[in-house]
Amino acid sequence: MSDHAIEALLLEGRRFEPPEAFRARAALRDPRIYEDAQRDPEGFWASIARELHWFRPWTKVLEWAPPYAKWFVDARTNIAYNALDRHLGTPRRNKAAIMWEGEPGDERVLTYADLHREVSKFANVLKGLGVRSGDRVAIYLPMIPELPIAMLACARIGAAHTVIFGGFSAEALRDRINDAQAKVLITADGGWRRGNVVPLKRNADEALEGTPSIQHVVVVRRIGEAAAIHIREGRDHWWHRLMADAALRCEAEPVDSEHLLYILYTSGTTGKPKGIVHTTGGYMAGTYATTKWIFDLREDDVYWCTADIGWVTGHSYIVYGPLLNGATAVMYEGTPDYPEKDRFWAIVEKYGVNVIYTAPTAIRTFMKWGPDHPRRHDLSSLRLLGTVGEPINPEAWVWYYRYIGGERCPVVDTWWQTETGMILISPLPGITTLKPGSATRALPGISAEIVNEQGRPVGPNEGGYLVLTRPWPAMLRGIYGDPERYQQQYWNRFPGMYFTGDGAKRDEDGYIWLLGRVDDVINVAGHRIGTYEVESALVDHPSVAEAAVIGVSHDIKGQAIAAFVTLKEGNAPGTEAVETLKQHVVKKIGALARPEQILFTGELPKTRSGKIMRRLLRDIAEGRIMGDTTTLADPNVVEALKNRYEEEVGS
Ligand code: WTA
């Protein structure tokens, strides 16, 4: 980066102690919490879980029959009760739970009492549509208050939600609905994105042609006339009509601690997305505790997580964690650059945000736009900054610290996954000395290790695989409907340990540095995409014979998708073909999977044993071998390169 101040800070190898003003008031200040938890992890988790409401207490904290854990065995609880009802008899009753801002600038504030009422009413709506405990409800909504309301209404009656990110295509939506066998779909007439309408209902209509399990569709009116949608009598119902007739009271149903709470689909190493299963009690305790410790929320804080609820970050740290803590959360519908590049900072100023949680890719984008946008706003309310989703490069960390945090706010770099449900590696802002770029260490009660191929711990500064060696409360309970894949994906590689799919190293101080995925998963702007998913989408096109997809480094997104494609006889490579194939991937998966580059080749370079030479492809795509390539039209080029490469690097 050209900024000398940032360079200087990094060159110093500077460490950042918790600022005294911060530490003095932090909820956690005593480092002995790590040892306490280590001594008795189960007792540790039980004591935090006791801060929540249980209709029936547990008989045992943990039952561990690898690879299956049960937490808070035999207990009965309800996460919506804990997120809402538990606060109603307290001064939080009329406190803002969600302060929502729509992309066009419309606003809505829901107090805990308001949210409780809306959730209860919608729970009655779901019951009226025949939804029962254990049923699955699919949710395909923009970032509007109806999204958390729908999720909490499901949880209130023991139904499981499966939220599908609004950027997914009709086909992706269809596959997820079918895998979950959802009974009801909740969607909207559309969503706003940079002033344009995202046609959610039209995508849903297309998906619904192939989803026999869906009996009813509830449609939120977000756009109005301009959405020009079609309502199918008998199947489709307007949200506001159903709500107008819904009864106000709906008791939260006490469910077993291991009752299915939600399924969230994420990419893995095969073409088929995995339905990650989360259950109630442990997930509740885990998200409650981590929100409280890491974001250090105070009663009057305003907290803002900028993620989309379609991803796990939104589930755990917009909806469940903050509401379980009785916090006030900002929720924003749109993008950071609409209508101007200072929108985030305008929101921070307007709502007096104290704690902000965002992604490294966003921070790198802000760096590119320059510090004048944040400078135009009063950001003095900020007290703590968080990041998640991918490794944060030290330059971005320091930029965030300096230009957003005014050099007074700790930065919590939080590592976790859809599968882990809760943050597992992160600083505790009142305790931990920070090093830019390191997620520091495993939280109290969490056991992380870095191991070599043989599963043995590696030494300081040696790279290895990040594994988790003890169960944790919010861990996934499986892959929906696929126990074999669960075993094989996470537990077979290193027996007795959960394999994260991430590479990492520990430095001489024991700090953990994440090094990115070691499997076939690409992390594009913090979104997980499987190479095989994109390859399947490409070969699905009639012109494509074979495709290989790799992740290449990208300044802003961290990684971008590059595809090498061989066409079937009679199809011409060229810019038109590139566009067609990009469009095809968008149609099959969604815009988030659009390849950045497509290169044509007569044959994919393979080793003698038939393995695709992904390293060679990466070197070509990143321009190390050929310079800037947009399309590689000459079929012989890659073959020639392969030969040269084999000579130089060896296969
Ligand atoms: C990556 C998002 C480095 C990692 C919560 C992980 C990170 C994957 C960090 C999970 C971080 C997430 N530092 N890498 N602080 N946070 N990752 O399931 O590769 O969408 O395995 O969950 O993101 O992505 P997922």
Confidence label for 613 from pLDDT (cuts 50, 70 and 90): confident
Bridge partners, 559 (sequence order):
553
Nearest residue by C-alpha to atom 13 in ligand 1? 391
Confidence label for 273 from pLDDT (cuts 50, 70 and 90): confident
Across the range 359-370, mean pLDDT stands at 96
Cβ–ligand 1 distance for 465 under 6 Å, the answer no
Segment holding 346, helix H or strand E = helix 343-351
**Cβ(17)–Cβ(446) under 8 Å?**
no
Cα-to-centroid distance, 415 and ligand 1 (Å): 6
Cβ–ligand 1 distance for 417 under 6 Å, the answer yes
Cα-to-centroid distance, 267 and ligand 1 (Å): 12
Across the range 512-522, mean pLDDT stands at 93
- The preferred substitution site among 264, 415, 515 for testing ligand 1, maximizing ligand atoms within 8 Å of CB, is 415
Q: List Cβ neighbours of 244 (8 Å cut-off, separation of 6 or more).
A: none
Across the range 223-229, mean pLDDT stands at 95
Cα-to-centroid distance, 521 and ligand 1 (Å): 11
Across the range 189-214, mean pLDDT stands at 97
pLDDT(1) > 50 = no
pLDDT(554) > 80 = yes
Cβ–ligand 1 distance for 439 under 6 Å, the answer yes
**Cβ(609)–Cβ(575) under 8 Å?**
no
CA distances (Å), 249 to each of 118, 120, 124, in order? Answer: 10, 6, 8
Cβ–ligand 1 distance for 416 under 6 Å, the answer yes
**Cβ(425)–Cβ(512) under 8 Å?**
yes
Distance CA 525, CA 594 (A): 12
Distance CA 276, CA 222 (A): 29
Across the range 18-24, mean pLDDT stands at 94
Which tokens in the block code for residue 15? 């460490």
CA distances (Å), 496 to each of 64, 65, 67, in order? Answer: 11, 10, 8
Distance CA 231, CA 186 (A): 13
- Only one residue has tokens 């499981």, namely 160
The maximal CA–CA distance of the chain, rounded, in angstroms, is 74
How many C-beta neighbours within 10 Å does residue 438 have?
Answer: 26
How many C-beta neighbours within 10 Å does residue 583 have?
Answer: 12
Across the range 246-268, mean pLDDT stands at 97
Which residue type does 239 have? W
236-238 and 216-220 strand pairing: parallel
**Cβ(296)–Cβ(28) under 8 Å?**
yes
Cβ–ligand 1 distance for 582 under 6 Å, the answer no
- pLDDT one-digit tens code per residue, 123-165: 999 999 999 999 999 999 999 999 999 999 999 999 999 999 9
Cβ–ligand 1 distance for 266 under 6 Å, the answer yes
Residue 407: per-residue pLDDT: 95
Distance CA 141, CA 532 (A): 27
Cβ–ligand 1 distance for 531 under 6 Å, the answer no
- The preferred substitution site among 514, 518, 527 for testing ligand 1, maximizing ligand atoms within 8 Å of CB, is 514
Cα-to-centroid distance, 530 and ligand 1 (Å): 14
Cα-to-centroid distance, 368 and ligand 1 (Å): 23
Cβ–ligand 1 distance for 393 under 6 Å, the answer no
Cβ–ligand 1 distance for 521 under 6 Å, the answer no
Cα-to-centroid distance, 391 and ligand 1 (Å): 8
Q: Which of 296, 347, 299, 411 is nearest to 143 (CA)?
A: 347
**Cβ(155)–Cβ(80) under 8 Å?**
yes
Q: State the sign of the Cα–Cα–Cα–Cα dihedral 368, 372, 374, 379.
A: positive
Q: Say if residue 515 is exposed, middle or buried (CB neighbours under 10 Å; 0-12, 13-18, 19+).
A: middle
**Cβ(506)–Cβ(512) under 8 Å?**
yes
Across the range 323-351, mean pLDDT stands at 98
- pLDDT one-digit tens code per residue, 480-490: 999 999 999 99
Cβ–ligand 1 distance for 389 under 6 Å, the answer yes
Confidence label for 12 from pLDDT (cuts 50, 70 and 90): low
Average pLDDT, the chain: 94
Cα-to-centroid distance, 423 and ligand 1 (Å): 10
**Cβ(168)–Cβ(205) under 8 Å?**
no
Residue 109: per-residue pLDDT: 98
Residue 270: per-residue pLDDT: 75
Residue 628: per-residue pLDDT: 53
Residue 645: per-residue pLDDT: 60
Distance CA 409, CA 402 (A): 9
Cα-to-centroid distance, 389 and ligand 1 (Å): 4
Q: Say if residue 548 is exposed, middle or buried (CB neighbours under 10 Å; 0-12, 13-18, 19+).
A: buried
pLDDT(263) > 70 = yes
Distance CA 236, CA 217 (A): 5
Nearest residue by C-alpha to atom 4 in ligand 1? 390
- The preferred substitution site among 306, 416, 426, 466 for testing ligand 1, maximizing ligand atoms within 8 Å of CB, is 416
Q: How far apart are the first and last CA of the chain?
A: 35
Distance CA 430, CA 384 (A): 10
Nearest residue by C-alpha to atom 14 in ligand 1? 390
Distance CA 437, CA 10 (A): 10
Cα-to-centroid distance, 335 and ligand 1 (Å): 21
Cβ–ligand 1 distance for 427 under 6 Å, the answer no
Q: Which of 115, 178, 117 is nearest to 147 (CA)?
A: 115
Cα-to-centroid distance, 528 and ligand 1 (Å): 8
Percent of the chain scoring above 90 in pLDDT: 88
CA distances (Å), 629 to each of 185, 324, 568, 597, 626, in order? Answer: 43, 50, 22, 9, 7
Residue 651: per-residue pLDDT: 40
SS3 state of residue 469: coil
**Cβ(387)–Cβ(26) under 8 Å?**
no
